[in-house]
Structures are given as structure tokens and as C-alpha cells.
Homo-oligomer: A and B are copies of this chain.
Amino acid sequence: MSTTRPVSRFPVPTLDALPDDVRTRILAVQEKSGFVPNVFLALAHRPDEFRAFFAYHDALMERPGNLTAADREMIVVATSGANSCQYCVVAHGAILRIRAKNPRVADQVAVNHRKAEITPRQRAMLDFAMKVALASGEIEDADFVPLREHGFTDADIWDIGAIAAFFAMSNRLANFASIPPNEEFYLMGRVPKAKPEAPKPSA
């Protein structure tokens, strides 16, 4: 960790105290990204939850389908902004910049998705995701109409809703545990020449 703020309000085990599979996954992320995103360390004290969290994350974020990787990250950043989750906005903002090859869009959707440089299709996607995040009990059949008009299939809509739902959880975990974003995330994907690779299975 490159920041001096604690990684979590809760215990953070040392790597050698972890089960093999958890340690292996963390080392793989470190190998690939050059650092360990704090959410991996903050969840490591609960190996079963760690495994389920990342299995769920990968099932949603790496699933083949009509949503691009940038679309998926955009959902994360917009809803995490609405939930005031600093970790997720900064960490997934970095990944969004890289996936979208756009150094501005993450800062835009984090503050106000209505004013971002996105397509009308992405706008409809984010409108639905924001309603899942903020008022899911009010979702009605009418909310699916604009999605279908933009060609989203049932599978796509499930992806949009499920990603917004998963990060409703993730945002709350990061908020009550007070997980700070790693310093590395802030600059990733902002400078055109330097092309850092996004951490593979991050959250």
C-alpha cells in the first residue's frame, strides 16, 4: 500500500497468514497490476467471503455479453458516486478510463451521468442502473422500455441490474470498513502515453 491511511477499520492479516488460494489470488493481482488493491486486503480476514465476493465480481464483470468492459465499469462508477463510495469511484474510475480509452469519462459519470460524454444507449443503461442503486423498489415495467428500445436483451438488462446491485453491496462494505483507494489508482488511465494495465480481478 502506498498510502499511509489504514487499509480498513477491521483487521488486515499478513499474507502468510492467509489460506493458499486467497494468498495466490492476491499475489497474482500484485504481479499483474504492480500493487494490491486495498479491497483484497480488507476482505482477506474473511476467506469465505473473500472467495464469494471475487467469484461474484468476476461472474458479473468478466462475463461475455453485449455490455463492453467499459459499460460495466461505467455502471460501477456512476452508482458508486451516488453511494458516496470513495474507494469504488477512484479504483473503478481508473479501470473505466483504461477500458473506455477515455481519460475524462470516469470523472464525469462519478459526478453526474446526465452530462457525460456517453452514447444515448449508455445513458439509458446508467438511468436504469441508478434506479436500481437508489430506488429499486420503484422499478416497474415502464423502466424496461427505454432499455429495449436501445436493443438491450434480457441478459444485458440482468447484467446492468446485477452489477448495480453487487456494487450496492461493495460500496457499503468499503464505506463501513473505510477502505481508502490505493494511491496508484488516481493517475491510471489519465496520461495517454503511459498505458498501465488495469488490475484483472479487482473490485
Tell me the residues in window 158-184 of chain A with beta carbons closer than 8 Å to chain B beta carbons. 158, 161-162, 164-166, 168-173, 175-178, 180-181, 183
The secondary-structure label for the interface of chain A is helix
How far is the CB of A123 from the nearest CB of chain B, in Å?
Answer: 10
CA distance A59 to B48 in the complex (A): 6
| A53 at interface by CB-CB < 8 Å | yes
User: Which chain B residues lie closer than 8 Å to A48 at the CB level?
Assistant: 55, 59, 63
CA distance A9 to B144 in the complex (A): 10
Is A186 in contact with B107, judged by CB distance below 8 angstroms? yes
| A154 at interface by CB-CB < 8 Å | yes
The 9 closest A-B pairs by CB, nearest first: A84-B137, A52-B56, A165-B172, A136-B175, A169-B169, A48-B59, A161-B176, A52-B55, A84-B112
CA distance A172 to B134 in the complex (A): 9
How far is the CB of A11 from the nearest CB of chain B, in Å?
Answer: 7
Of A21-29, A33-41, A68-76, A85-93, the one contacting chain B is A85-93
How far is the CB of A76 from the nearest CB of chain B, in Å?
Answer: 13
User: Which chain B residues lie closer than 8 Å to A190 at the CB level?
Assistant: 186-187, 190
Taking a contact as CB atoms closer than 8 A, the residue among B52, B111, B133, B175 that contacts A81 in the complex is: B111
Is B10 in contact with A158, judged by CB distance below 8 angstroms? yes
CA distance A132 to B162 in the complex (A): 19
CA distance A179 to B186 in the complex (A): 24
> Please, which residue of chain B has its CB at the minimum distance from the CB of A143?
B176
How far is the CB of A95 from the nearest CB of chain B, in Å?
Answer: 14
